[in-house]
Amino acid sequence: MRDTKHLANYSNKLANDAKEKKLFRTQRKAVEAGANGTLDYTIKRGVNKNKIANQKILKSIK
């Protein structure tokens, strides 16, 4: 009796956790790429100030 009760509780817990994860997965929102400077780095000092650092600028700095 005790073993089947624990096994039943465990399987119910796993089923509830899976259901909860599935619900959270569908409610996620996509992140906006490049929002708040997360995609490109802006140079803050020097000749290229306020320019977005791309491969051309980074190669010329080295």
Query: Which DSSP state fits 42?
Result: B
Residues 30-49, mean pLDDT to the nearest whole number:
72
Identity of the residue numbered 9? N
pLDDT bracket for residue 27 (50, 70, 90): confident
Q: What is the pLDDT of residue 8?
A: 94
Residues 39-54, mean pLDDT to the nearest whole number:
79
Residue 43: helix, strand or coil by DSSP?
Answer: coil
Structure tokens at 44: 């803050």
Residues 31-46, mean pLDDT to the nearest whole number:
70
Identity of the residue numbered 20? E
Q: What is the pLDDT of residue 58?
A: 62
Identity of the residue numbered 26? T
Q: Is pLDDT above 90 for 15? A: yes
Q: What pTM, to 2 d.p., does this model score?
A: 0.42
